[in-house]
Amino acid sequence: MRPVAIIGIGKTAFGAFPDRDLRSLAVEAGQKCLADAHVSPSQVEAYYLGNFAGPSFVGQNHLAPYIAGAMGITGVPCTRFEAACASSGSAFYHAVSSVAAGLNDVVLVAGVEKMTSQTTPKVTEILAGAGDTCGEVRAGATFPALFAMIARRHMYQYGTTREMLAAVAVKNHENGAKNPLAHMRKVITMEQALKGKPISEPLTVFDCSLISDGAAAVLIAPLERAPEFTDQPVKVRAVAQTSDYVALDQKDDITTFRAVSAAAQKAYKMAGVTAQDIQFAEVHDCFTIAEIIATEDLGFVKKGEGGPYALAGCTRLTGPLPINTSGGLKSKGHPVGATGVGQICDLVYQLRGEAGERQLARHSLGLAQNLGGSGATAVVTILGVA
Amino acid sequence: MKSGVVYTETVVHAAPEQFVADAPYQLAIVSLEEGGRLTARIEGERVVIGDRVDFVEGNGIPFFRKA
């Protein structure tokens, strides 16, 4: 296996862009990424695209060659990966595998979603397609409902409170307000977060990530070739993808995502590090409870201690383990297919010292955790300065 | 008749397009006496974790009611 490096990144802003179509967003991210690495489209040997539901949201299939062609990339393998909200995390895992194996050298990995052209009930229905449509979804489950049931059980077993959930939202908005590419750049108060409109009890609108449009891209290459393209290569220390049952009611314990803990253990082993070595992380806060559970499943805190850890401010920019310095899915936005690669870009901004007001003092080893559905796909990536 | 215990629950306010007319409605994962779990709607009185519930005929959708 060859060591792999990230040699370029590119992101669009995340937000609601009525004048932009899916392809133009993906092209913008891809072109910014190629420019960042000074690479021309003809040098790209493969295009891996994460997209959850382009066919449902905008009626377009065959997305990977459709977008690659618009960037002038033809004659190479162009493939779309679908793994719900972990679609582009999965694309990244498979792209790294191909470079590590020696099949390709210069590979563009991207994620895109165009969601805001549909009504919220329609978006809710399309997203529910990432659940078990013959079981939980048929009974009326939505993704907020599934995570609300996870939250209720976590509260019941561990004493997690509404304030602890709200602390995650307040912190992520605090960070997102400082991120020029974030969807909702505004701070919120604890009181606002607690009094939000109910979406699925106990979750309010402030516990839920945003419905967004956006795209993100990274360019990868063998580490030994990285100096040809950049002075600041980032090393892929580890990437691991695992799975679990799709239906929430098939999981023994819904207060943990065992796919995440399994992926994390594999990734720590691959990187030769422990959870305590990680300096900062981008985790999949599709709902506030998911960030709390992520801190537990990744081994940053013991089971049941994620809520108090968030409430104590330990995951803020000034805390011992800053989480979601980008603002997370909650404030930065969650164009689902773009989220996994977007998180990787956000780690790279920190690792390269380009995170502006959000720049951390310790920024040489970061982790990203991307979750699909209610935990049926998990991708954990560890990046370090090369 | 299937009976069980509420493992977790929520009240859905923001419903998917096909169930907008039903909202708000309670949804639960029920641990069945016969083993296994089932995601179902709760009819009538609201329930909390640990409540015993009995199966009632639904129209293609499993419904339970507080025992």
Confidence of residue A227 (pLDDT cuts 50, 70, 90): very high
Question: Collapsing DSSP states into helix, strand and coil, what is residue A134?
Answer: coil
> Could you tell me if B18 lies within 8 Å of chain A, comparing CB atoms?
yes
Angle formed at CA A171 by CA A168 and CA A177, multiple of 5 degrees: 135
User: What's the pLDDT at B12?
Assistant: 98
Give the distance from residue B2's alpha carbon to the nearest chain A alpha carbon, in angstroms: 16
Interface test with A, best of B39, B42, B48, B55 (most A CBs within 10 A): B39
Helix/strand number for chain B, H first, E second: 0, 5
Q: What is the pLDDT of residues A287-343, one digit of tens each?
A: 999 999 999 999 999 999 999 999 999 999 999 999 999 999 999 999 999 999 999
Which residues between 26 and 45 in chain B have a beta carbon less than 8 angstroms from any beta carbon of chain A?
27-29, 37-41
* Percent over 90 (pLDDT), chain A: 99
**Mean pLDDT, to the nearest integer, of A211-220?**
98
> Could you tell me if B46 lies within 8 Å of chain A, comparing CB atoms?
no
Question: Is A356 in contact with A237 (CB distance < 8 Å)?
Answer: no
Of residues A33, A78, A85, A314, which has the active-site annotation? A85
Which residue does chain B place closest to A253, by CA atoms?
A: B7
Confidence of residue B1 (pLDDT cuts 50, 70, 90): low
Active site residue A85: yes
DSSP B2: -
> Side chain identity at B30, as an amino acid letter?
V
Confidence of residue B59 (pLDDT cuts 50, 70, 90): confident
User: What's the pLDDT at B55?
Assistant: 95
Q: What is the pLDDT of residues A237-285, one digit of tens each?
A: 999 999 999 999 999 999 999 999 999 999 999 999 999 999 999 999 9
> Could you tell me if B67 lies within 8 Å of chain A, comparing CB atoms?
no
Residue A107 CB: number of other CB atoms within 10 A? 25
Q: Give the 3-state secondary structure of chain A.
A: CCCEEEEEEEECCCECCCCCCHHHHHHHHHHHHHHHCCCCHHHCCEEEEECCCHHHHHCCCCHHHHHHHHCCCCCCCEEEECECECHHHHHHHHHHHHHHCCCCCCEEEEEEEECCCCCHHHHHHHHHCCCCCCCCCCCCCCHHHHHHHHHHHHHHHHCCCHHHHHHHHHHHHHHHCCCCCCCCCCCCCHHHHHCCCEEECCEEHHHECCECEEEEEEEEEEHHHHHHCCCCCEEEEEEEEEECCCCHHHCCCCCCCHHHHHHHHHHHHHHCCCHHHCCEEECCCCEHHHHHHHHHHCCCCCCCCHHHHHHCCCCCCCCCCCECCCCHHHHCCECHHHHHHHHHHHHHHHHCCCCHHHCCCCCCEEEEEEEECCCCEEEEEEEEEC
Chain A partners within 8 Å of B56 (Cβ) = none
H helix intervals, A195-338: 258-271, 288-297, 306-311, 328-331
Q: Tell me the CA distances in angstroms from A22 to A130, A335, B59, one per residue in order.
A: 20, 11, 39
**CB contacts < 8 Å between A and B, how many?**
93
Query: How many Å apart are CA A224 and CA A280, to the nearest integer?
Result: 26
Query: How many Å apart are CA B67 and CA B57, to the nearest integer?
Result: 14
**Mean pLDDT, to the nearest integer, of A85-110?**
98
Residue A103: is its pLDDT beyond 90?
yes
ipTM: 0.98
* Percent over 70 (pLDDT), chain A: 100
Question: Is A267 in contact with A380 (CB distance < 8 Å)?
Answer: yes
Question: Is A330 in contact with A168 (CB distance < 8 Å)?
Answer: yes
H helix intervals, B1-67: none
**Mean pLDDT, to the nearest integer, of A165-182?**
98
Residue B58: is its pLDDT beyond 80?
no
